[in-house]
Amino acid sequence: QQQVKQSPQSLIVQKGGISIINCAYENTAFDYFPWYQQFPGKGPALLIAIRPDVSEKKEGRFTISFNKSAKQFSLHIMDSQPGDSATYFCAASPGTGNQFYFGTGTSLTVIP
Amino acid sequence: ETGVTQTPRHLVMGMTNKKSLKCEQHLGHNAMYWYKQSAKKPLELMFVYNFKEQTENNSVPSRFSPECPNSSHLFLHLHTLQPEDSALYLCASSQGTPRSGGIDEQYFGPGTRLTVT
């Protein structure tokens, strides 16, 4: 059973546009929601993360929006750049320990 | 550079071969992980070692055999693999639990692209 569902599978955005990737979960024990960015030939790297006690977290052009009641969270990339082209994974964790559940990934292409 | 290195980066092996993947972390971490990454699938956690002790084995077939001789090195020994085992194998490390508590953020290596012919 897939613990975290991610959409879309792929996304093409014009330079300067907003990229939006969505994730949903069922397990209410999840308490930590990170996003990872993976470039070709590289491993995933932590991009930004949120706890459910806040509804939004912003770091530069990257924002996580969190809806606890709907059990959904999303990544928004503002002013998308070609250098943002990568695969993005959402994940969820119970908040302690080292167990992470990953989404299936979204391949983002930003067109110049 | 993430501080986690993996060798080889690419590996092609026949179904009857025996090979090993190597992971080394330079971050002073105490936990190490093996993940399998296949296209259009979530990352699959295979094995976890905390302080050199295996604490997780997610029903991985016996043709995959991990080894953790110390906190800095992790191996994945492969034998009689199947074509469906072709994937990107990622190693990760973290501070380790339960001593650190809280979120135990993981740092990934670049992976080994494995092709089984």
* Averaged pLDDT, A6-21: 97
Mean pLDDT of B58-76: 93
Contact B97 A96 (CB under 8 A): yes
pLDDT at residue A20 above 60? Answer: yes
Average pLDDT over residues B32-51: 90
Nearest to B94 among A41, A45, A98 (CB): A98
Rounded Cα gap, residues A26 and B35, in angstroms: 23
Residue in chain A closest to B32 (alpha carbons) equals A98
pLDDT at B101: 45
Q: CA-based angle B69:B71:B75, to the nearest 5? A: 50
Q: Residue B99 has what pLDDT?
A: 46
Top mean-pLDDT range of A20-24, B38-42, B105-109: A20-24
Q: At residue B33, what are phi and psi to the nearest 5 degrees?
A: -140, 150
Per-residue DSSP letter, A105: -
Contacts A32 to B, Cβ<8 Å: 103
Q: Residues 6 or more apart from A105 whose CB is under 8 A from it?
A: A6, A9, A38, A87, A88, A89, B40, B42
Segment among A28-32, A45-49, A98-102, B30-34 with least mean pLDDT: A98-102
Residues of A in contact with B41 (CB under 8 A): 104
The residue-averaged pLDDT of B91-116 equals 81
What is the pLDDT at residue A79?
A: 98
pLDDT of residue B97: 59
Is A107's pLDDT higher than 60?
A: yes
When pLDDT is cut at 50, 70 and 90, the band that residue B100 belongs to is very low
pLDDT tens sequence across A47-88 = 999 988 899 999 999 999 999 999 999 999 999 999 999 999
Interval A95-99 mean pLDDT: 70
From first CA to last CA, the distance across chain B in angstroms is 31
- How many pairs of residues across A and B have Cβ atoms under 8 Å apart? 62
